[in-house]
Amino acid sequence: MKALQYLSEDYLRECLKSTVEQRLEFLENLRQLKTDLGEDKTILISMKIKSRLLAAFRKKCGVSGVAYQTQIKALMRAFVE
């Protein structure tokens, strides 16, 4: 199941101000990003992490406004690159 993204009214109003060229550039950049990353499927992994470390990580992600699993993936991607 794919996640559903909710967009604010302010964001949508700003999008309406963009030109056709800007919209096409956005779509091309998105297409290129998907091509660069590949259409790789996700897999479920299991790993053991100390409970205090996970709790602290989740808390820090919450304060930063980032989902902790998203942050784990970002850290993995940065490490690989």
pLDDT per residue as tens digits for the range 37-78 = 666 678 899 999 999 999 999 999 999 999 999 999 999 988
H/E stretch holding 9 reads helix 9-16
* pLDDT beyond 90 at 81: no
Average pLDDT over residues 25-39: 77
List the one residue out of 26, 3, 30, 28 whose CA is nearest residue 15. Answer: 26
List the one residue out of 16, 18, 59, 81 whose CA is nearest residue 73. Answer: 81
Angle between the N-to-C axes of helices 51-64 and 68-80, in degrees from 0 to 180, rounded to the nearest 10: 100
Average pLDDT over residues 4-17: 86
The pLDDT confidence band at residue 19, using thresholds 50, 70 and 90, is very high
Average pLDDT over residues 18-36: 85
Q: What integer pLDDT is reported at residue 2 of this predicted model?
A: 64
